[in-house]
Structure 1
Amino acid sequence: MYLKWILWTSIIFYLIACFLNAFKDTKNNKGMYKGGVCLFFGWMSFMFTDWFALIAWFANILYWISVINYDKTDLLFFVFSISSILSSCLAFFIKKLLINEAGTYVPVKVSWGFYFWLTSMVMGGFYRYFIQYQDIINSLFNFF
């Protein structure tokens, strides 16, 4: 299918985001958390009642459910894709992150890795949208 490049680009952006800084310390302006660290340890934010981080972390699960079922046209996977975009936007509201086991928090802001991650979610959403309405899109391409 002619739209699979959108899906593959989305996956590549997601993988790049795992190696880039997702959050950086606003005090020292250093890269603090890589995207992969946020992916592997983000689920632990429920213990510290950081609900924005936890809901934003669930965007990964919704994204991968949508990507794994890339060829299905069920509305459920489209809803998963849109939900992943909306829940990933909650990461904009994360203002502090726990940096060690002593309970030290640092003020943070989003960095390049977050934008790659968000772009991958949006591209996955576009792909899912085009798959959902592929009959209409095919008729437009056949018209021209």
Structure 2
Amino acid sequence: MSVVYSGAGLNQPVTTTIDANGQVWVANSGNSSVTILAQTGTPAPISPLTGNGLSAPSSIAIDTSGNAWVTNKAGNSLSAFSGSGAALSGSPFSGGGLNSPSALAIDPAGNLWITNPSNSSLSEFNRSGASLGQTSGLAGPASIAIHPN
């Protein structure tokens, strides 16, 4: 079965994730926004999200607190939003080797792992947005997955 959604700020959507309420969060690279859709496909009242450093978002993930974390490929940064769409304190976050960040995953401890294909590295940030360091020497990492245990 195929379902097609349009409008609601969708513009070159590149990735999606689903929160605990079943809402679909979509990173829109074309207009530097995030669209939030209810399970029915209708836009959430707060959608689309803009600002907060969004710049060609390339990946999105939801942490255990319901916060949405978004990598900004053009901005070399990381934006964070509460489940209600408000920017988290200190967001957007930068540094830590972020360089055209693409993929994002959150480990069981709540740390964020971000691939940086442009400088062949992997960045780690804690749940407060502070950099925990960078691993280099990778060959253009494009995606990431974390084992739940």
TM beyond 0.5: no
Q: TM-score, normalised by structure 1?
A: 0.26
Structure with higher helix content? 1
Structure with higher strand content? 2
Q: Which has the higher contact order (CA 8 A, sep 6+)?
A: 1
Larger radius of gyration: 1
